[in-house]
Amino acid sequence: MLARFVRVGCLEVTFPDGTMRRYGRDASDPLCLHLRDTALLRALVRDPEMALGEGYMDGRLTIGGDRLHDFLTLVLRNRQAGGLPAWARGADVIRFALRDWVQRNTPGKARMNVAHHYDLSNDLYRRFLDTDMQYSCAYFARPDMTLEQAQAAKKAHIAAKLLLQPDMHVLDIGCGWGGMAITLARDYGVRVTAVTLSANQLELGRARVAQAGLSDRVDLRLMDYRKLTGPYDRIVSIGMFEHVGLPQYQTYFGKLRDLLTPDGVALIHTIGRVDRPHRPSGWLTRYIFPGGYVPSLAEVAGPVERSGLWLTDLEVWRLHYARTLAEWLKRFEAELDAVRATHDERFIRMWRYYLTACQATFEVDRQGVFQVQLARRADAVPLTRDYIARLSATGPVAAQ
């Protein structure tokens, strides 16, 4: 299997019995993989992706020089070259066929999925996120930006597309720890209703709102978006659409239309694939984001068209998330002593694998970020895009 799979780069594998074999033609910079038991060999043949992640988490698979990023990049490049065996490709087809069932995400299931990831520990997220705790792709408008500056630029860019005016009522779907809601209320003078399904996020978000003196302008709720009633002048949703689930897309966009005022505008910020629809990652689904899915543009476009909304602007960010993840990983590694006080080594290896695998995916696979601007009327936003750069640069001043 490895002889067929490794077409790019070079992989040196030490097997459980001590045998070492080399795969690939380019031996200038080989990656050294150590496999510790025969059960892992069988697992790698049956389900390579799951076995790689689990083997690394358990310490049964190690990489020389701790070159996890280089190793996962090699795996992704060779996967693109089509070297997986037929049975592994067949398993991908089955997972693709089952994705609607896996992502059915009823209200009860959605709450459980969110709790699995976001209710781990607020302290854990503080360790590696920026000071505003933005857990989504930053916008590196300049190459010399810090993570904090790039996250602030992301918020300003989104606010520009929302065309905010003081005292507008804004809905934030999937508000995280309240950073965007606080920014919009404080800097743009709007009222914000923000919803999350994470109890941990809600508790800290409300505390942050109170500390900012914005309790009269920001209302954070533990609520499923499907239970909301409107209308709202603006809707923003950052990094939440990945958790909606493919079977719920029509419900989601129909709900956006129902919640918007006739001249309302919505901005959806989501990870997306610039490729054909793809099966979800089995390892990520089991350990990190149950019920999660990264859509292709085609999978988004159909439900938008059927909802009756206008697609007024579409922007695709390339490589911004790779840099964001690299910053998160660096901060996570710098905080390992503190993380070890509350989490074991298996969790640390799982989290490192998650952040590194996602970084490598955004670097070498056909994955980016979509910003989808929607409106109920064709003239709800200006007819050219000039205003976006202008309002992004001037920020809150333009909204006052």
Catalytic residues: 358
Kind plus residue range of the DSSP H or E element containing 220: strand 218-222
Q: Are 219 and 194 in contact (CB under 8 A)?
A: yes
CB neighbour list of residue 282: distance below 8 Å, 6 or more residues apart:
47, 49, 50, 95
> Which ranges of the chain would DSSP assign to H, the alpha helix?
2-5, 38-46, 48-58, 68-80, 86-97, 99-102, 107-118, 122-128, 147-162, 179-188, 199-211, 249-259, 282-287, 297-307, 320-334, 336-340, 345-364, 386-394
Which of 137, 134, 357, 400 minimizes the C-alpha distance to 269?
A: 137
What sign does the dihedral 97-99-104-108 (CA atoms) show? positive
What is the distance between the alpha carbons of residues 300 and 247, in angstroms, rounded to a whole number? 11
- Token representation of residue 151: 């996250």
Q: What DSSP designation does 232 have?
A: E
β-pair partners for 35:
61
DSSP assignment letter at 260: E
Residue 119 is given by DSSP the state T
Inter-axis angle of helices 147-162 and 386-394, nearest 10: 130
Angle at Cα 372 formed by Cα 267 and Cα 298, nearest 5°? 145
